[in-house]
Amino acid sequence: MTEVQSTPRDFMIPEGCPVCEADLPVRVTANGPNGVCKHCGWFGRPLVTVTHQGLRISFEGAQA
């Protein structure tokens, strides 16, 4: 069973901004994660996937 957290959680993804590679602050709420880069102003909804090696963070439409 999946438990939904009602309290927002804040995380920092080192070099997580897909535009400028600055650290990306992410807030996870019951509606999902939201990220806003304080360096370049990019904002979006990171996709957080649990894998056997840990968490995988990706962005729709982002290309490497």
pLDDT for res 22: 95
Statement: residue 64 has pLDDT above 70 = no
At 6 the pLDDT is 75
Q: What pLDDT sits at residue 27?
A: 92
Q: In what order do the strands lie in the sheet with 24-29?
A: 9-13, 24-29, 32-36, 43-44
What per-residue confidence (pLDDT) applies to 35?
92
The Cα 24–Cα 31 span in angstroms is 19
User: Each residue of 2-59: pLDDT tens digit?
Assistant: 666 679 999 898 998 989 999 999 998 888 889 999 999 999 998 888 899 887 888 8
Q: What is the model's pTM? A: 0.72
